[in-house]
């Protein structure tokens, strides 16, 4: 495939168009995925908490990164679910496995986030 045939162009125009596509993906997740809305709301609430309770900029970055990690995995899980549902709404063992694995990934991301924040609050209140 020739570079000129790529739909999103080249150079800075490709970066601009990719940014638009990314924004549309986040907007679609917000509109159609309750879990994404809940996790985004939690991230927005915890952002100032992270800022005011972090002793160092590194701590702040780690706390925010753990929240972004959850949102990223939720976006990937939602994309997998959308593709599986697009292929067929009939129950399939393979489709079920794909959705379960996506859900497991979100659960593990939430666990990582919880552990990061729990350690932070333990140090903030007890150390």
Domain ranges of the chain: 1-32, 34-126
The pLDDT of residue 73 is 99
Residues contacting 88, CB < 8 A, separation 6+: 95
36 in a labelled binding site: yes
Top pLDDT among 1 and 121 is at 121
The pLDDT-based confidence of 8 (bands split at 50, 70, 90) is confident
**pLDDT recorded at residue 51:** 98
> Can you give the pLDDT at residue 89?
82
pTM of the model: 0.90
Say which CATH class 34-126 falls into: mainly alpha
Q: Is 74 a catalytic residue?
A: yes
Per the annotation, does 3 bind a ligand?
A: no
Catalytic residue among 3, 74, 90, 93: 74
Q: Which of 56, 54, 53, 98 is nearest to 77 (CA)?
A: 98
Q: Which of 101, 79, 93 is nearest to 22 (CA)?
A: 79
| Nearest alpha carbon to residue 106 among 78, 65, 64 | 78
Tokens for 98? Answer: 């794909």
Q: Is 81 a known ligand-binding residue?
A: yes
* DSSP code, position 56: S
Q: What is the pLDDT of residue 5?
A: 64
Place of tokens 């794909």: 98
């Amino acid at each position: 495939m020739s570079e000129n045939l790529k739909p999103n162009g080249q150079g800075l125009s490709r970066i601009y168009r990719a940014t638009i596509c990314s924004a549309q993906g986040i907007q679609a997740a917000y509109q159609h995925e309750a879990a994404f809305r809940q996790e985004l709301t939690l991230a927005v609430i915890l952002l100032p908490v992270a800022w005011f309770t972090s002793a160092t900029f590194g701590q702040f970055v780690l706390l925010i990164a753990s929240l972004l990690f959850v949102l990223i995995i939720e976006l990937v899980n939602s994309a997998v679910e959308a593709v599986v549902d697009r292929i067929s709404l009939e129950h399939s063992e393979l489709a079920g496995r794909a959705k379960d694995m996506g859900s497991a990934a979100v659960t593990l991301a939430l666990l990582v986030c919880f552990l990061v924040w729990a350690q932070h609050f333990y140090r903030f209140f007890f150390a």
